[in-house]
């Protein structure tokens, strides 16, 4: 007798494909996949529906606008309603040791969050670099983030010498540890932003891309690859945004470089001519359509390995779209639209469903050391599952997404084929038909050191 059973659905299993089978789960774990399973206390009929592994969004920011505790609840609620059941959180402490903050961050995820989580502290100081082994040992952290280009008023750039020290400290943790890097060359971005201010005090969203030229991304990826190679670190390029950046990625792969590349659903779903204009102002920018086309190519061909959101929730009052080109602030609430946007635009682009799901589940879970507990549907895996109605079409409305925000960069768009009708987290039905019906049961995931680099397909094909 299972606690819960899903019958008559089509499972999408990364690396395996589509499979008509039932799933039985007990005590939060998948116990069986097959036909004619024994009875269950609760049975969900998923006829005509897709059953996916809960998404793992490896790239989110929590607590940038309201308190960490508050956003740990509201933004993970949006995530869960949207089919995301695990998130990676880029923690921010600009000057202080993370030892002062990690206990509270962790408590928030254990006590308030609807989803499971891993942490990637953002490294800014020599003290933080020196404490990387302590963060790893005491909090099970295996990944760290570095900004090559800061954002005025938000974060500072990290210089190349500190990058190298940091990469070495992370690499010393073991072959599974990851350096996640915001790849833009700070000096080029600062110059471009200042020149844009002089040339165009006002403008459109399309003009914003000039403040973050693609060559700044391409050059920074080149630098990061070189430093990561020197340090022996596994480089993870966050939020690839440009065709030029992708060209560097392709060339490096041809040369045998071993690294991982992410893009985001806003970059895949939106372009800079969008009618929502400064609601989608972001760093790096959502760019012109040819970049957008390149990112889809990179995703389909396997040079872009993972898809996250870069969710940084804001409300209209702090997003300030009316403040225009230079005054509107970056940051997008996009956890709730991650899966609907990925499947809608992926279908439009003709990318196979199995590939889309892999990039948002198994690939990031493998990269960050939580596979196969997360990122697949398998006997023994956590019972985090999303049932999607492939025919359901809905117009995006911020108030239905479940987060704190009063806007969405996708608002007004009609998305089809990716809306969850049920989200199961740890074997319990927590959301149904766009509403929360269960209690938050997320927890923080300690990660343990592994003695080998994960066997990521894209690291071994060179």
**Which residues contribute to the site for Zn ion (CB under 5 A)?**
310
Give min distance, CB of 61 to Zn ion, in A: 6
Give min distance, CB of 36 to Zn ion, in A: 46
C-beta closer to Zn ion: residue 367 or 423: 367
Which residue, 400, 388, 406, is CA-closest to 434? 400
396 vs 334: CA distance, rounded Å: 11
339 vs 334: CA distance, rounded Å: 10
C-beta closer to Zn ion: residue 23 or 224: 224
Residue 17's region, left for phi above 0, alpha for psi from -120 to 50, else beta, is: left
406 vs 400: CA distance, rounded Å: 10
C-beta closer to Zn ion: residue 73 or 310: 310
C-beta closer to Zn ion: residue 14 or 58: 58
Show the tokens assigned to 227: 């430093």
Give min distance, CB of 199 to Zn ion, in A: 27
282 vs 166: CA distance, rounded Å: 26
C-beta closer to Zn ion: residue 404 or 421: 404
Q: Where do the DSSP E strands lie in 115-172?
A: 116-121, 143-147
Q: Are strands 419-425 and 428-432 parallel, antiparallel or unpaired?
A: antiparallel
Q: Where do the DSSP E strands lie in 265-408?
A: 306-308, 311-312, 385-389, 393-395
38 vs 279: CA distance, rounded Å: 50
C-beta closer to Zn ion: residue 151 or 288: 151
- How many other CB atoms are there within 10 angstroms of residue 111's CB atom? 14
Show the tokens assigned to 218: 């391409």
C-beta closer to Zn ion: residue 62 or 136: 62
Longest dimension (CA), the chain: 70
C-beta closer to Zn ion: residue 310 or 358: 310
Show the tokens assigned to 312: 């940084």
- How many other CB atoms are there within 10 angstroms of residue 152's CB atom? 9
Show the tokens assigned to 292: 């957008």
The residue number whose beta carbon is nearest to Zn ion equals 310
């Amino acid at each position: 007798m299972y606690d819960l059973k899903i019958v008559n659905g089509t499972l999408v299993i990364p690396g395996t494909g589509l499979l008509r089978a039932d799933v039985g789960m007990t005590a939060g774990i998948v116990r069986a996949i097959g036909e004619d399973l024994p009875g269950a206390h609760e049975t969900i009929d998923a006829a005509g529906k897709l059953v996916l592994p809960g998404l793992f969004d490896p790239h989110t920011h929590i607590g940038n606008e309201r308190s960490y505790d508050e956003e740990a609840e509201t933004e993970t609620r949006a995530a869960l309603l949207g089919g995301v059941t695990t998130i990676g959180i880029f923690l921010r402490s600009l000057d202080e040791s993370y030892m002062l903050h990690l206990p509270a961050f962790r408590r928030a995820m254990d006590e308030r969050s609807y989803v499971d989580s891993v942490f990637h502290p953002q490294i800014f100081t020599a003290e933080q670099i020196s404490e990387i082994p302590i963060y790893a040992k005491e909090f099970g952290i295996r990944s760290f983030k570095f900004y090559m280009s800061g954002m005025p008023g938000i974060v500072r750039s990290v210089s190349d010498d500190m990058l190298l020290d940091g990469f070495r400290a992370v690499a010393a943790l073991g072959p599974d540890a990851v350096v996640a890097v915001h790849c833009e060359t700070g000096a080029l971005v600062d110059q471009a932003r200042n020149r844009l201010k002089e040339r165009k005090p006002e403008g459109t969203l399309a003009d914003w891309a000039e403040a973050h030229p693609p060559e700044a991304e391409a050059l920074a990826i080149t630098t990061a690859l070189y430093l990561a190679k020197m340090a022996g670190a596994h480089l993870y390029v966050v939020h690839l945004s440009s065709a030029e950046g992708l060209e560097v990625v392709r060339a490096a792969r041809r040369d045998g470089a071993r690294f991982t590349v992410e893009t985001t659903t806003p970059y895949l779903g939106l372009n800079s001519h969008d009618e929502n204009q400064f609601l989608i102002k972001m760093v790096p920018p959502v760019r012109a359509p040819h970049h957008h086309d390149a990112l889809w190519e990179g995703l389909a061909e396997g040079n872009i390995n993972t898809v996250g959101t870069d969710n940084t929730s804001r409300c209209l009052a702090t997003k300030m779209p009316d403040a225009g080109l230079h005054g509107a602030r970056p940051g997008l609430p996009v956890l709730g639209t991650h899966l609907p946007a990925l499947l809608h635009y992926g279908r439009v682009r003709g990318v196979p469903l199995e590939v889309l799901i892999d990039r948002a589940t198994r690939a990031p879970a493998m990269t960050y050391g939580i596979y196969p507990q997360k990122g697949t549907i398998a006997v023994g895996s956590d019972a985090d599952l999303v049932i999607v109605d492939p025919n359901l079409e809905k117009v995006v409305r911020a108030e239905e997404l479940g987060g704190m925000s009063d806007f969405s960069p996708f608002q007004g768009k009609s998305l089809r084929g990716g809306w969850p009708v049920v989200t199961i987290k740890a074997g319990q039905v927590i959301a149904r038909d766009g509403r929360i019906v269960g209690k938050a049961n997320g927890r923080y995931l300690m990660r343990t050191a592994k003695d080998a680099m994960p066997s990521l397909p894209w690291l071994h094909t060179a």
